[in-house]
Structure 1
Amino acid sequence: MGGLRYAAGIWWKSSYSSGNGQCIEISYKGAVVATRDSKDACGTAVSFERGAWNIFVSHIRAGLPAST
């Protein structure tokens, strides 16, 4: 995981986004998944290895802690 300026082509906002300004956007590039604050599109992104991201998302969906 690390902070970086991420020049990915396409960013997605969660379909669960309610428009309250507390959203993240996600971009995939190779083996990396980057996230950023949707209010600061030019700001720093936080990146994850795709496998770590998939585990994180599966835990969230299952109602488990983000890490074990």
Structure 2
Amino acid sequence: MNAMEPSTRYWRRSSYSGGNGNCVEVTTLSGAIAVRDSKAPNAGVLVVDRHRWAEFLASLSSSVR
């Protein structure tokens, strides 16, 4: 298995999960961010370019204000 494959990485759970089981987990890859559903970690992974991920997070924080 390739060391850069998301399944071999350390996954972090969203700090907004609230413990109700509806969570996403993220891990960093070379130049990208991988996202998966914590309830179904083997169901698939979404890989997003780091710059697009930063734009996504910025849009979330601006919509919360």
TM-score bracket for the superposition, by shorter chain length: 0.7 to 0.9
CA-based RMSD: 1.7
Larger strand share, 1 or 2: 1
TM-score by length of 2: 0.81
TM-score by length of 1: 0.78
* 4+ residue segments displaced more than 4 Å: none
Determine what percentage of the aligned residue pairs are the same residue.
30
Counterpart-to-counterpart distance in 2, 1:61 and 1:8: 30
Larger helix share, 1 or 2: 2
Q: Which has the higher contact order (CA 8 A, sep 6+)?
A: 1
In the alignment, structure 2 segments of 5+ residues that lack a partner are none
In the alignment, structure 1 segments of 5+ residues that lack a partner are none
Paired residue total = 60
